[in-house]
Amino acid sequence: MQNQLELTDFLIRFSWLIERGRTILDAGCGDGLLADAYLARQGFAVNGIDASARMIELARKNVPEGFYEVKDLIDLQEGEYCVDGVVSLRALLQIPREHYPTLLTNFASFMPSGGPLLLAMAPGNHDGGESNPEIIESAGFPIIADGIDGSGDETYQIILARL
């Protein structure tokens, strides 16, 4: 199983796929500490959304150079953002799987010039349906790397893909 350090390695690999100065959407940013703080230090413009006003408040304090707004991932609309990459670490663990195809299609629409996607999802096939990589590839994102992280209270699959 992968540990927290390897999750950071995935974030580093994600950042290598985008030119510095470009914009990244953190969908379900939480307090901004892991992904947004790292990405901002690397010279990226960070836009973060989260359904929790409290998490957005913390993200604004933790990563003042980022732009944050309260928004539920389920409410995202196709083409609503124009970014160069999308990160969503652990937010998908809170969303019913039946919403994944629409959400991933929306993420693809946010990157009209293509771009990388870094996700953490519940591992395995669920209800005999498609696996996470199958769902992601069906939305047009070929998988670059994936792994399992069980270092915390939850086990999740980390997937790096690119349009």
Q: Give the pairing of strands 85-88 and 116-121.
A: parallel
The vertex-91 CA angle with 44 and 160, nearest 5°, equals: 55
- Distance set, CA 41 to CA 21, 35, 60, 107, 159 (Å): 11, 10, 15, 24, 22
Burial class, 78, CB count within 10 angstroms (exposed 0-12 / middle 13-18 / buried 19+): exposed
How much is the pTM? 0.92
Would you state the pLDDT for residue 8? Answer: 82
In this predicted model, which residue has the larger pLDDT, 147 or 149? 147
Measured at the alpha carbon of residue 119, what is the angle toward residues 102 and 64, in degrees to the nearest 5? 105
Beta pairing, strands 85-88 & 23-27: parallel
- How far apart CA 56 and CA 61 sit, in angstroms, is 9
**How many CA within 13 A on the CB side of residue 2?**
19
Name the more confident of 127 and 86: 86
Question: 88-115 pLDDT, tens per residue?
Answer: 998 988 888 889 999 999 999 999 999 9
What pLDDT, on the 0 to 100 scale, is given for residue 5? 46
pLDDT of residue 103: 95
Flag whether pLDDT at 160 surpasses 60.
yes
> What is the tens place of the pLDDT at every residue in 3-57?
444 778 899 999 999 999 999 999 999 999 989 999 999 999 999 999 999 999 9
pLDDT bucket at 127, cuts 50 / 70 / 90: low
Return the pLDDT at 34.
Answer: 86
